[in-house]
Amino acid sequence: MPFRRVIAELEKQAPEFVADCAKKGVRYSNVMPDIDDSESGQGRSWRSTLSTDNKSAAEDKLRKLGYQWQWLEENSLRVTTAVLPAIRETQNGLRVFFNQLIAAFRGWKDTRNAKQKSIRFGDDSEISTQAMVKAIHIGDELSFDIPWQSGDVALVDNFLVMHGRRPFEGQRRVLTSLIAD
């Protein structure tokens, strides 16, 4: 779904939310376990996420990213991003709802993470559940499934189109190629 359509609908239905997103930005927090947890949609360990088994090296990577962190019980790691833009403007002037708020609110839940704590505005104020419900509804209304056939390829511009996947049965195989502009 095009980000620009999402923001256009949000500006109609939740203008205060859009203004706060633009003004304050967003921060994401999550607790990463010591080892991968396949039972969780957000269950990658800090070791897998940061490609290291060394706490000092993990902290160095987090420091370079501007994250805040805290080591917790059971060798888990709570991380919080720096303030990130929730709305961006493309080179040709399009304003887009560019963030992971819907995915984080909808899917970042497990025994370690709660959606209300996983996403916040950049000033650490709470993002209202009502605003997120509207954003999710708009996202769902504008979503569509690609009717995949063998040999199909999809090119997705991550700055203009939100993408995801729905539950399915069978073996998942991901073949990706990233192209930098």
**CATH architecture observed for domain 3-142:** 4-Layer Sandwich (3.60)
Domain positions in the chain: 3-142
DSSP character for 128? Answer: P
Closest CA to 113 of 121, 101, 105: 105
Would the CA dihedral through 160, 86, 145, 166 be positive or negative?
positive
In the DSSP assignment, the letter for residue 82 is P
CB-based contacts of 23, cutoff 8 Å, min separation 6: none
At which residue do the structure tokens 């921060």 appear? 27
| Rounded Cα gap, residues 83 and 121, in angstroms | 8
Taking only the tens place, the pLDDT of each residue in 74-92 is 999 999 999 999 998 888 8
Read off the pLDDT of residues 128-178 as tens digits, 9 standing for 90 and up. Answer: 999 999 998 998 888 888 888 888 888 888 777 777 766 667 776 666 666
